[in-house]
């Protein structure tokens, strides 16, 4: 069906939203080093690769399998930027900043995939960029300032931007390249083939990282921290696996620009999941360090409205 890509893209966004919340909880409670946490994720991810290989087989085709292996290993690099941002900012803001990469996907799709970029697509891309500035604005320090203090601090302080913004500049470019290459590879390999070899690529990238004894010790320490940590990681990687699979199938049947734009819904879904979880686990917002006061919700709602408008124009 023509709308299969939309269903897969939306499901992938839901799963990635749940995984992002668990990422924040795990980083806050069990691992203070993003590099170690990424290695733990990669090791846990291989649990899903084994049954996929057993069911779909291990198909090797040259050069597609090697390219999938390469791009999978390169995807570890933006993961560092993502986790670094997750450590210093609210999960909803991180996911909002994360999904600016569709703007770069649009550009790459025009030059590499032959997609036609209309004026409305440019408007949508501009709105997505605007939403990132809105969500990354940090005006909380000005809430308790007197008028004199505001004047003394100056406009630069009042317009302070989230520290998570800078790490994402490289993230956007690398992630856009990854998804454009994914779309190109899917024309000659099936979805499970791509998942298997790209996952093995992340494992290959983790091996040199674990060469450092300190990293190995921290990884062992994480997996020795108890059933709760391991269980949370297992749930996180389950959602991550489902998100990756759904996204691969979405790119297989839809255009790269439209599929990537649906992902911009993730910050909205993230806040919705946090609020829903807060009804059953009241301390969830405090553990996630997620602001849910009136001013924060207004700021996020405004940003999310701009995201929705951007998605409308680019889709």
The per-residue pLDDT for 156 is: 40
The per-residue pLDDT for 248 is: 93
- CB contact at 8 A, 32 and 84: no
| Domain layout of the chain by residue ranges | 4-314
The per-residue pLDDT for 145 is: 45
Beta bridge partners of 294: none
Burial of 288 (0-12, 13-18, 19+ CB in 10 A): buried
pLDDT single digits (tens) 33-59: 778 889 999 999 999 998 998 888 878
Angle of helix 34-56 relative to helix 213-223, nearest 10 degrees, comes to: 70
Distance CA 180, CA 255 (A): 10
The per-residue pLDDT for 78 is: 83
pLDDT digits (tens), the chain, 315 positions = 467 888 898 999 899 988 988 888 888 777 667 788 899 999 999 999 989 988 888 788 888 889 999 988 888 888 888 887 777 777 767 777 777 787 788 778 777 776 666 777 778 777 876 776 676 565 544 444 444 443 344 334 333 556 666 667 788 888 888 888 888 888 888 899 999 999 999 999 998 888 888 888 888 888 888 888 889 899 999 999 999 999 999 999 888 877 887 877 777 787 778 777 767 776 666 666 666 667 777 777 787 788 778 777 766
Secondary structure, 3-state, 181-223: HHHHHCCCCCHHHHHHHHHHHHHHHHHHHCCCHHHHHHHHHHH
The per-residue pLDDT for 269 is: 80
The per-residue pLDDT for 61 is: 82
Those residues with Cβ within 8 angstroms of residue 60's Cβ, 6 or more apart along the chain or in another chain: none
| ω into 299 cis (within 30 of 0) | no
**What is the value of pTM for the model shown?**
0.79
- CB contact at 8 A, 299 and 102: no
pLDDT single digits (tens) 155-212: 343 335 566 666 677 888 888 888 888 888 888 888 999 999 999 999 999 988 888 8
Q: How many CB atoms lie within 10 A of CB 21?
A: 23
The per-residue pLDDT for 2 is: 63
């Amino acid at each position: 069906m023509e709308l299969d890509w939309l269903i897969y893209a939306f499901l992938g966004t839901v799963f990635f939203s749940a995984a992002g919340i668990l990422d924040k909880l795990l980083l806050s409670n069990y691992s203070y080093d993003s590099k170690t946490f990424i290695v733990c994720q990669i090791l846990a991810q291989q649990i899903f690769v084994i049954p996929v290989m057993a069911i779909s087989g291990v198909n090797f085709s040259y050069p597609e399998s090697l390219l999938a292996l390469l791009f999978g290993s390169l995807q570890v690099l933006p993961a560092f930027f993502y986790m670094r941002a997750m450590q210093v900012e609210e999960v909803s803001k991180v996911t909002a900043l994360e999904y600016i990469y569709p703007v770069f996907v649009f550009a790459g799709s025009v030059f590499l995939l032959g997609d036609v970029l209309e004026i409305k697509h440019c408007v949508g891309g501009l709105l997505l960029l605007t939403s990132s500035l809105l969500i990354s604005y940090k005006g909380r320090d000005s809430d308790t300032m007197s008028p004199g203090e505001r004047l003394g601090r100056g406009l630069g302080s009042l317009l302070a931007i989230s520290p998570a913004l800078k790490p994402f500049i490289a993230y956007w470019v690398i992630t856009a390249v990854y998804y454009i290459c994914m779309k190109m590879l899917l024309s000659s390999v099936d979805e499970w083939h791509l998942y298997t070899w790209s996952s093995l690529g992340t494992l290959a990238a983790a091996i040199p990282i674990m060469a450092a004894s300190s990293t190995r010790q921290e990884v062992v320490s994480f997996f020795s921290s108890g059933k709760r940590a391991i269980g949370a990681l297992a749930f996180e990687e389950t959602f991550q696996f489902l998100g990756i699979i759904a996204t691969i199938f979405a790119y297989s049947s839809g255009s790269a620009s439209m599929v990537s734009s649906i992902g911009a819904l993730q910050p909205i879904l993230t806040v919705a999941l946090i609020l829903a979880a807060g009804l059953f686990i009241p301390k969830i917002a405090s553990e996630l360090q997620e602001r849910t006061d009136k001013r924060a919700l207004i700021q996020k709602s405004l940003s999310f409205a701009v995201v929705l408008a951007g998605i409308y124009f680019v889709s």
